[in-house]
Amino acid sequence: MKQIILILLVLIAACNQTNILKQEDGNTESSEVKGNEIMETSKEVEKQIPKIKLNLEELEKFEKATFAGGCFWCMEGPFEKMQGVKEVLSGYSGGTETDATYREVSAGRTEHVEAVQIYYDNSVVSYSELVEVYWKQINPTDDLGQFADKGTQYRAKIFYRNDEEKEIAQISKLLLGKSGEFSKPIVTEILPYTNFFPAEEYHQDYYLKNYEDYSSYRRGSGRERFLVDHWEEDYEMPTDEEIKEKLTSLQFKVTQNEGTEQPFDNEYWDNKKEGIYVDIVSGEPLFSSIDKFKSGTGWPSFTKPLVPENILKVEDSTLGMKRVEVKSKHANSHLGHVFDDGPNPTGLRYCLNSASMKFIAKEDLKKEGYGEFEYLFK
C-alpha cells in the first residue's frame, strides 16, 4: 500500500511540474521533455539524504534507541511528542548488508527491517519510558509483520546497545506478557544493535508532510483500531444534564445540536496566541495554533488536526448541500466542517466553531495536563 501511495505522489508531482513549465515557457514539447527528465530524476530519489533538525555532530551528544515496529511512518510521531526526544529518523536496521534503500528493503531483498532511531536526552526521558511507548505502537503478538504489512522486513524488534538496555527490554517484555493485555504470546524480538541507515528524505516526517495519506494508511492498515482497542482508555460520556451544567447555552447548541456561531463574533476567530485547541466537553486535543491560518471567514480555520485520531468526518447533506462535518471522536461534539479550498500543505480548511473548543496557551500546557505537546513550541 505504501509503495502505491509513493508512486502516485511522484506521478502527481511530475504532472504538476510539467504544467508549471508549460506556463512558464509556453512550449509544450520542451516542457514535456523536462517533465520526463523529472520522472527520470525521481528514480534517483532514494539516494537523497534526509534533512534533520540537528546536525549529526549535535545528535551524537545524545543517547540513541532503535526500534522496529512495522511501517516507520507510524513510528515517528509518538516518540517525537515525548519530552527529551531531540530527533527521530526513519530508516533500516538489523541486516548484514552495508547499505539499504526503500526499494530493496520493502521488497524483502535484504535482511533489514523498517525501523526508527531515536535521539534523546536521558536526563529528561529514560530508555525504559521509550520502551513503554514502543509497546503501545505495535502488535507484539504478530511474528509475520505488523498489521497490513507482512514480511520479515516489517517484523517488530527492539535493538539494544548494552546490557542495561537488554535487561530493561527483556523485563518490560516479560511484564507485558504477564499483564493479561494479550491472549497470545509476546513474540517481539530483542536483539543486539548492529547498524542503522537513514531512509530517504520523502519518508522522514511523512506523518506531518503527507498527513491525509498517512491517516488513511494508518486507519486502513488496521493499526489505529488495534491500538485503540488495546490501549485507549474508554471515555465515559457525560449525560445531557451534566453537559448543560458545564457548557454555556451557545456551547451546548453548537456541540450537541450542530449549531453554528456567528462569524467574526466568536472567541478564537482572530486568536493569534500559541497553543492548542481541545474539545470543550472531553478535553481531547484537536488542533494547534501552528496549523491555524486567516481564512477570512470569521471562524477559526486550520489546515490539519493536531491529533488525527481524535477527528471524525461525517457526510452532511443539510441545508440542501453536501458537506463534510467534523466531529470529535470521544465526545462526539460538532466542531464544524472541512473544505478542500485551504492552503498548502494539505489544501484543506477545517472551519470550526470557537464554542466547540477550549484554547490552552503554550505556557499552560503542562499545568493543564497537555505537557506532551510542549515540544511543538520550542
With respect to residue 43, please indicate whether it lies within any of the assigned structural domains: no
Q: List, in order, residues 6 or more apart from 187 with CB less than 8 Å away.
A: 140, 141, 142, 143
pLDDT digits (tens, 9 = 90+) for 51-87: 555 577 788 899 999 999 999 999 999 999 888 999 9
3-state helix, strand, coil in the chain (%, to 5): 40, 20, 40
Please give the pLDDT value at position 17: 36
Q: Work out the widest C-alpha separation in the chain, in whole angstroms.
A: 68
Quote the mean pLDDT of the chain: 85
Has residue 358 got a pLDDT over 50?
Answer: yes
Has residue 367 got a pLDDT over 90?
Answer: no
Residues 223, 244: one domain? no
- CATH number, domain with residue 344: 2.170.150.20
State how far the alpha carbon of 198 is from the alpha carbons of 51, 94, 320, in Å.
Answer: 10, 13, 51
Has residue 361 got a pLDDT over 90?
Answer: yes
Per the annotation, the verdict on 74 as an active-site residue is: no
Range of lowest pLDDT (10-24, 195-209, 227-241, 289-303): 10-24
Per the annotation, the verdict on 71 as an active-site residue is: yes
- CATH number, domain with residue 185: 3.30.1060.10
pLDDT band at 312; cut points 50, 70, 90? very high
Residues 166, 257: one domain? no
**Interval 287-299 mean pLDDT:** 97
In order, the DSSP letters of 120-140 are E-TTTS-HHHHHHHHHTTS-T
Question: Is the pTM of the predicted complex or chain greater than 0.75?
Answer: no
Has residue 42 got a pLDDT over 60?
Answer: no
Contact 340, 332 (CB under 8 A): no
Residues 13, 93: one domain? no
Residues 138, 223: one domain? yes
With respect to residue 234, please indicate whether it lies within any of the assigned structural domains: no
With respect to residue 338, please indicate whether it lies within any of the assigned structural domains: yes
**Interval 38-58 mean pLDDT:** 49
From the candidates 6, 52, 68, 71, which is the catalytic residue?
71
Task: Please report the sign of the dihedral spanned by the C-alpha atoms of residue 7, residue 9, residue 12, residue 17.
Answer: negative
Domain boundary among 205, 229, 253: 229
Higher pLDDT: 8 or 280? It is: 280
- Which among 9-13, 26-30, 67-71 has the top mean pLDDT? 67-71
Has residue 21 got a pLDDT over 60?
Answer: no
Residues 246, 224: one domain? no
With respect to residue 235, please indicate whether it lies within any of the assigned structural domains: no
Contact 193, 161 (CB under 8 A): yes
With respect to residue 3, please indicate whether it lies within any of the assigned structural domains: no
User: What span, in angstroms and rounded, lies between the C-alpha atoms of 364 and 264?
Assistant: 26
- The string over 91-115, giving b where at least 16 C-beta atoms fall within 10 Å of a residue's C-beta and e elsewhere, is bbbbbeeeebbbebbbeeebebbbb
Strands 156-160 and 189-192: parallel
* pLDDT over 90 percentage in the chain: 65
With respect to residue 205, please indicate whether it lies within any of the assigned structural domains: yes
With respect to residue 362, please indicate whether it lies within any of the assigned structural domains: yes
pLDDT band at 48; cut points 50, 70, 90? very low
Structural domain boundaries, residue 26:
8-37
- The string over 241-253, giving b where at least 16 C-beta atoms fall within 10 Å of a residue's C-beta and e elsewhere, is eebeeebeeebbb
From the candidates 351, 352, 355, 365, which is the catalytic residue?
351
* Kind plus residue range of the DSSP H or E element containing 160: strand 156-160
pLDDT digits (tens, 9 = 90+) for 124-167: 999 999 999 999 999 999 999 999 999 999 999 999 999 999 99
Residues 110, 257: one domain? no
- For residue 363, the 8-state DSSP code is G
In order, the DSSP letters of 189-240 are EEEE---EEEPPGGGTTHHHHTHHHHHHHHHHTTHHHHHHHHHPPPP-PPPH
SS3 of residue 12 by DSSP = helix
Residues 78, 225: one domain? yes
Residues 221, 284: one domain? no
Residues 202, 128: one domain? yes
* Kind plus residue range of the DSSP H or E element containing 337: strand 334-339
User: What span, in angstroms and rounded, lies between the C-alpha atoms of 310 and 328?
Assistant: 6
Residues 368, 330: one domain? yes
Residues 82, 211: one domain? yes
Domain boundary among 190, 209, 229: 229
**How many domains does the chain divide into?**
3
Domain boundary among 229, 256, 285: 229
Residues 129, 271: one domain? no
With respect to residue 53, please indicate whether it lies within any of the assigned structural domains: yes
